[in-house]
């Protein structure tokens, strides 16, 4: 490789890295969904109600499940829990404040777990979710 090409390619690479860093910083500045790590005891995951003080969606994570669970606070004050696993081919889903999306094949789901875009054809797995003494209990078994 000639010196001129080397300098040109190096500059391009640096520019690419710089642009990527700026893009990542910009994206990080977007409101992120909080992640709450917890343990399931006797098949029940618990998330404190206070986690929803400033948001309507929290990702609950436990090592006892292979996928995270999106916990959604509904307008009527009840809660819904959805397993973040695409019902099409079990890919992990991306959650945003407006729904859940599968980056692999394009399926999307609303915050009730219903399919809004194929190829998925069945709703997401949801768990019974009950508020008990300031804890949101998610029954995963």
3-class state of residue 50 by DSSP: helix
Query: Applying CB under 8 A, which of residues 88, 126, 131, 139 lies at the interface with other proteins?
Result: 88
Q: State the first-to-last Cα distance of the chain, in angstroms, to the nearest integer.
A: 61
Position 61 contacts other proteins (CB under 8 A): yes
Position 122 contacts other proteins (CB under 8 A): yes
Q: C-alpha 71: how far from its chain's center?
A: 10
Query: Applying CB under 8 A, which of residues 52, 94, 131, 135 lies at the interface with other proteins?
Result: 94
Distances (CA, A) of 18 to 23, 25, 96, 124: 9, 11, 26, 39
Query: Applying CB under 8 A, which of residues 105, 128, 130, 132 lies at the interface with other proteins?
Result: 105
| 13-42 positions binding other proteins, by CB under 8 A | 23-24, 27-28, 30, 32-33, 35
């Amino acid at each position: 490789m000639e010196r001129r090409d080397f300098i040109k390619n190096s500059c391009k690479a640096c520019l690419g890295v710089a642009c990527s860093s700026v893009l990542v910083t910009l994206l990080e500045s977007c409101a992120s969904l909080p992640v709450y790590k917890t343990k399931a005891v006797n098949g029940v995951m618990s998330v404190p109600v206070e986690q929803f003080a400033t948001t309507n969606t929290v990702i609950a994570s436990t090592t006892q499940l292979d996928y995270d669970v999106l916990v959604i606070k509904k307008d009527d004050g009840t809660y819904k829990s959805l397993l973040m696993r695409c019902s099409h081919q079990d890919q992990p889903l991306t959650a945003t404040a407006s729904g859940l999306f599968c980056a692999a094949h394009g399926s999307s789901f609303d915050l009730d777990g219903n399919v809004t875009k194929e190829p998925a054809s069945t709703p997401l797995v949801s768990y019974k979710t009950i508020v008990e003494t300031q804890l949101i209990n998610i029954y995963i078994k």
